Structure 1
C-alpha cells in the first residue's frame, strides 16, 4: 500500500505525549536520580521512537538522522563493546588495568572466567540502556518537532515543568517543610530550595535551560497576550536558579542570557525588515526576566554572599573540585583505548585517588574527564563530533528567537557541566535532547544541503527501533545490581557476625559481580580479623591487600591491615599500617587504637608520622589516658632527639617538664624547663611552665605571684584567668579566686567558658560553706552545657543539703545523658536518694505526731490527712 499523505497522525500525537511524559517524569523522579526511573525511561523513549516512526510512515515522511545522533548511537555501541567478555590476551591489549585486576585480585580467588573491558559491568549495562533511551528520545523528538505546534507544545511542557518545580520549592519554604512533600527527607543533602532535586547544581542547570527556552517562547508567541504565561514561567525558573544558591548554575545561567541578548542584537542588525515592535518585545521580555532575578537576588543576598566568599580567591578555588581534576586525569590516562567502562568511575577512581577525601566521588564533575575516563579516546572523538554538530546549529541560517534561546540554554548547561555532572542524570539530559530535537528538526521548506541523513521509514527500520527498545530493557536486568546494594548486604552479614564461610562465599559472589569495589574485599577481611587467630589474620591480609591495591588511600583498610599484621606478630609492619591510616585521614587511630597496642618505644617509633605535634599527642595519650608515664617519658626522649631543630620540638620539652613534675623528678623537670626557656623565652606558656616548676619545688607563693604578675600583663586572656583562679582555689584563696573570675566575666564568648566559670565559682562557694549559692551556680552551669557530670555535681551538693528529692531529679537528668551501659550506678544512686527522702519524710511525720504543740497547731488548722466527708 502506498503511504497516505496526511498533515497529522495519531501515532505522532501519541509519540508527542510520550516525550512530554519523559520531560515531566524525569525531574519528578528526584531529578532523575530515582532508581526506578530506568524502566519508564526506556519504555517511554522506545514507545515515542516507534510511534514517531509509524507516524512518519503513515504521513509519507522520511526519518531524519542528524549528526548529533551519531555520538549517542556510537556511545551505546561502545558500551556494548565494553561488556563483551574477552580472553586474557585480548584484554591485556585493550585494557591492561582490567587485565592486571583479573590476574592479581580475581584469579587467585578462583574467579577465572573471561572478563570484559568494563570494570563495573552492571553499571555499564545501565548506561547502555540509558544511551539507547537517549538515542530513541532524540530521534523521536526530531520527528515529532517537524510540526511547529508540536515543537512549541513540547518546549512549553519543559518550561512549565521548571516553573512547577520552583513553585514546589517555594511552597516548602513558605510552609517550613524540610522534607520533600512532607514524606522524604534528604539524607546527605541540605538544598537551599527543597524540590525534587537534592543537588542544587542540577536544579540550577535544569531551571536555567527551562527559563531560557521560556524566554524564547515568550518572544515568538503571537498574539502578545498569549506570551504572558511563558514569560511568567521563565521568570519563575530564573528565580529558582538564584534561590538554588548554586554559584556555577547562576554564573552560567547569566552567561546563557548574555548569549541570547548578543544573538538577538545581531539578528536585529542583520534583519533590516524586522519591526520595531518585535525588538521592543525582546527587550521587554529580557528586562522582565532581569527584574525577577534582581528581586530573587535581593531576597537571598546574604546567602549568596556567603556562597561567593567560599570561592573568592584562587587558593580557595584550588581547594575545590578543580583540585581533583589532575587525579581524575591520571585515572583517565590509564584507560586510553576503550576506557574503564561507562558508569564505572565510582568504583574505579579510588585506585587513583592520591589525596584522602571523606566523600565518595561518583563523577568527575567535568564532562570531558567523565567521557575520556569511561570511554577513552573514542569518547573524546564522540565529544568532538557532538561539539562540531552543535556549532553547526549555531551557524545555521534562518534561526528564530525560540531556536536561538534554546541553543543558548543548551550551551550554558553544557558549559556548566565542565564543573558539574547534571547531564549524567536523565532530568537534564532528556530536556537537552528534546530541545535539540526541536532545533535540528527538518525545516519546513525541505531538506537543505548538508542536512541530516534521510531514510524511508520501512518496517525493517521500525523493527530496529523496537529491537533497540527491547535491548535497552534487557540490559536493565543485569544492570539491576548496584554497588550500594552489594555493600549494604555484605556489611549486614559482617555486622550480624554471620558464619565466616557464609560471609566469604557471599563476598566472592559479590566481588565477581563488582570486581573493582574495594569495600567488598575490605569487609571480607574485617570478618576474618574479627574472628581472630593466625589463620583468620592471614586470610584477612590476602583480602585487605587487594582492597589497598584498589584504594591505596583508604584509612579503614590500613587499620584492618594493621590489626591482621599484629595478630600475625608482625608488629613493625602493623604499626606502620596504623601510621598510613593516619596519613590517609583517620586522625584518631593513633591516639585511640594504635597507642593501646604499643608495648615498647620501637612500636611507637614505627607508628610515628613525620610530625612533632602528632608525637606530642601520642605522649599525651600514653600519659593522661593510659597512665603509662615511664613509656611516655622514654618515647618523648626519642621524639625530642628525632625532631631536634624542628619548630614543634619545644612542645616535647614542655611535656617532658610536666611529666617529670608529675613523677616528682624535680631536677629533670628544671632541666627541661631551662630548655623551653632557651627556645621560647617570651611566650606565656613558658612563664606558666616556670611557675609550675616553682610550685612543684614547694614554692607555692612564688609560683602564685608569678602567675598573678603574668595575669596583670595579659588582662584579656581568659584561659590565663581560669588557670590563676584554679591555683588560687588550691591555695585556699577562695575570695581572690572569685574576684579573678568576675574580672573576666564580660570577656566570655561562649557557653562553655561561662559554664566553666560558674563551676569554679561554685567550688569556691562550697569551700566557704555557702552551699545554697553553690547549688545555684552548679544548676546554671548544667543548663548552659548539659552533661552527666554537671548534673551529678548538682546532685551531690543537694544531697549534702539533705534535699534528697531534688538530688534524685538531678541524677535522673544526668542519667539520660549517659550511654545505656553506664546507667546502672546512677540508678542505684537514685534509689538510695529516694529511700533517704522517704526516711526523712517519715521521721518528720513522727516528730510532728510526738510534739504536743505541733498536734495542737494541726488541730486548729484542720487535719488535712482526714478524708473530706461529702454532704
Structure 2
C-alpha cells in the first residue's frame, strides 16, 4: 500500500505494519474457527457467546483498519457483493422482531392477558430473548464469512489456512475414533448424553460432527486436486502427504459417525468439488472425484446397513415435524414467529404422534421460514447463494479456496434439507470461513 507524503523508508515501515496487522487478524480469526468445535461444537450458549464476542472484536478492529486506510478492501467475486446488503436486511428484520410495542405482535402475547389480566406490549417474535440470541449467532457467522473474505490474503495464504483447518479437523477426528474404539461414555470429561456407539469428537450430536468432518474432507479434496493438477499424482505422497493422511482420517471418522445424512451430503460436496474444476483442466480428476464420491456413498451405505432398518420410522417422524412446521409457516408467512423462537411455538402445532421433544425442524429451510417469515428466509438463502456462486466463479478461474467453498456450500445445502447440523455454531462458523475464503476475488499474492 502506497501512502503519499511519506519518505520511502517510512512508507516501507507503514506497509510492514499494515501487513503485520492483517496477518495478526487473519490468524486470530483462524484460531477462533479451529477452536470452535472444542466446547461441544459451541452449541451451549456459554460456548458460542465468547466466540461471538471475539468475532465482534476482530470485526471492529478490521473495520477500524479499513476506515483508517491501513487495511485494504478485498472485493468479492460477482455476485458475492449482494451478500452484504441481504444479510444486513435479515439481521435488521430479526432485530425488529424482538422489539416490543410494534404492530403485528405475535398472538402469544394476547394470550397472556388471561394470566396477567392485561396483555403486555407484544413483539413480533414469540420469544424475543431467543430472537436476540439468534441475531447474535447470525451476526457471528456472517462476521466470520466477511473476515475470511477480506483477511484471507493471497492464493497461497488461503491454501495455507485451508490446510491448517483440514489438519486440525483430522485431530478432532482422531479423538473421535479413539473415543469410539475405547467405548468412552464421556465428551471432554462430561457425560455423553447420546450416540455412545458413534464417533462424535467434541460434538454432542453425531450429525453435527459428520457435517464438520465432511466440510474438512471436501476442503482436503480441493487441496489434493490442486496438488495433482500442478505436480502430478506422485506429489500426493511426496508433498501433500499430511493433507492426504488427514483426508483418510476424516473419511474414517465420517463413517464412524454413522450419520446417513452427513455421508450423503459429503458425497454431494465431493462431486461439487469435482465439477468446480478450473476451465479446461483436470478431465481425469473429474472422473476420479465423482467416482470417489459414489464409492464413499455406496461403501458407507453398506457400512451402515444396520441403521437403514429404522429409516422408515424416522422418515415418518420427520414428515410429522415438517408438516407441523409448514403449519407454523402458514400461520405467519410474512412476519414469522421470530428467529430462534421455533422451540417456543412448536408445541402449539405438535402432532400427538411425536414422543420426543422437538427443538429443531430438522430442515434449515423450513425453520428459517417459520422464524424469519418467507421473505426473510429467502433473503438469507439468497445471501448464501450469492457467496456460493462467487465461489463457483473463482473456482472456475483456478482458485483452490473457491473450489473448497463450492464443496462446502453444496454440503451445507444438502445436509440442511434433512437436518439442523449446519445450524450448530461450530459447523456454521467452519462453513462460513471456507465459503468466505473462496468468495474473494482471486489475486496473485
Fold shared, TM-score > 0.5 on shorter chain: yes
What's the counterpart of residue 400 of structure 1?
399
What's the counterpart of residue 197 of structure 1?
203
* Pairing 1:153–2:160 present: yes
* Pairing 1:45–2:55 present: yes
Deviations 1:628-648 (A, max 9, x none): xxxxxxxxxxxxxxxxxxxxx
* Pairing 1:172–2:179 present: yes
What's the counterpart of residue 414 of structure 2?
415
- For these two proteins, the number of residue pairs brought into alignment is 421
Deviation of residue 283 (structure 1)?
A: 7.2
Gap change, CA 1:102 and 1:424, over 3 Å in 2: same
Deviation of residue 378 (structure 1)?
A: 2.4
Taking the aligned partners of 1:364 and 1:40, their CA distance within structure 2 comes to 26
Gap change, CA 1:404 and 1:324, over 3 Å in 2: same
Superposed CA RMSD: 3.1
Given that 1:18 and 1:47 are in contact with CA atoms closer than 8 Å, whether structure 2 keeps it comes out as no
What's the counterpart of residue 85 of structure 1?
100
Deviation of residue 431 (structure 1)?
A: 0.8
* Pairing 1:6–2:37 present: no
Taking the aligned partners of 1:6 and 1:282, their CA distance within structure 2 comes to 42
Taking the aligned partners of 1:255 and 1:289, their CA distance within structure 2 comes to 7
Residue aligned with 2:82, SS: coil
Gap change, CA 1:348 and 1:22, over 3 Å in 2: same
Structure 2: 5+ residue stretches without partners: none
Taking the aligned partners of 2:284 and 2:407, their CA distance within structure 1 comes to 20
Deviation of residue 148 (structure 1)?
A: 2.2
Taking the aligned partners of 2:264 and 2:74, their CA distance within structure 1 comes to 38
* Pairing 1:352–2:358 present: no
- Aligned with 2:246 (options 230, 233, 258): 233
Given that 1:210 and 1:237 are in contact with CA atoms closer than 8 Å, whether structure 2 keeps it comes out as yes
* Pairing 1:328–2:325 present: yes
Deviation of residue 344 (structure 1)?
A: 0.6
Deviation of residue 73 (structure 1)?
A: 2.1
Deviation of residue 59 (structure 1)?
A: 4.6
After the TM superposition, which residues 318-717 of structure 1 pair with which residues of structure 2 at under 5 Å, given as runs? 318-386=315-383, 388-389=385-386, 390-395=388-393, 397-444=396-443
Deviation of residue 126 (structure 1)?
A: 1.0
Deviations 1:659-679 (A, max 9, x none): xxxxxxxxxxxxxxxxxxxxx
Taking the aligned partners of 2:378 and 2:319, their CA distance within structure 1 comes to 23
Deviations 1:679-704 (A, max 9, x none): xxxxxxxxxxxxxxxxxxxxxxxxxx
Structure 1: 5+ residue stretches without partners: 447-871
Residue aligned with 1:320, SS: helix
Given that 1:201 and 1:244 are in contact with CA atoms closer than 8 Å, whether structure 2 keeps it comes out as yes
What's the counterpart of residue 61 of structure 1?
72
Deviation of residue 421 (structure 1)?
A: 0.8
Q: Which runs of 4+ in 1 moved over 6 A?
A: 278-291
Given that 2:404 and 2:438 are in contact with CA atoms closer than 8 Å, whether structure 1 keeps it comes out as no
What's the counterpart of residue 511 of structure 1?
none
Given that 1:346 and 1:360 are in contact with CA atoms closer than 8 Å, whether structure 2 keeps it comes out as no
Residue aligned with 1:12, SS: helix
After the TM superposition, which residues 246-325 of structure 1 pair with which residues of structure 2 at under 5 Å, given as runs? 246-264=259-277, 267=278, 270-271=279-280, 274=281, 297=299, 301=302, 304-311=304-311, 316=313, 318-325=315-322
- Aligned with 1:102 (options 95, 98, 109): 109
Deviations 1:821-854 (A, max 9, x none): xxxxxxxxxxxxxxxxxxxxxxxxxxxxxxxxxx
Deviations 1:172-211 (A, max 9, x none): 2333322124x21122443511421121111111111100
What's the counterpart of residue 243 of structure 1?
256
Gap change, CA 1:281 and 1:6, over 3 Å in 2: farther
Deviation of residue 395 (structure 1)?
A: 4.6
Deviations 1:517-545 (A, max 9, x none): xxxxxxxxxxxxxxxxxxxxxxxxxxxxx
Taking the aligned partners of 2:264 and 2:292, their CA distance within structure 1 comes to 19
Deviation of residue 140 (structure 1)?
A: 1.1
Taking the aligned partners of 2:46 and 2:313, their CA distance within structure 1 comes to 38
Given that 2:38 and 2:202 are in contact with CA atoms closer than 8 Å, whether structure 1 keeps it comes out as yes
Name the larger-Rg structure: 1
Deviation of residue 153 (structure 1)?
A: 2.7
* Pairing 1:19–2:29 present: yes
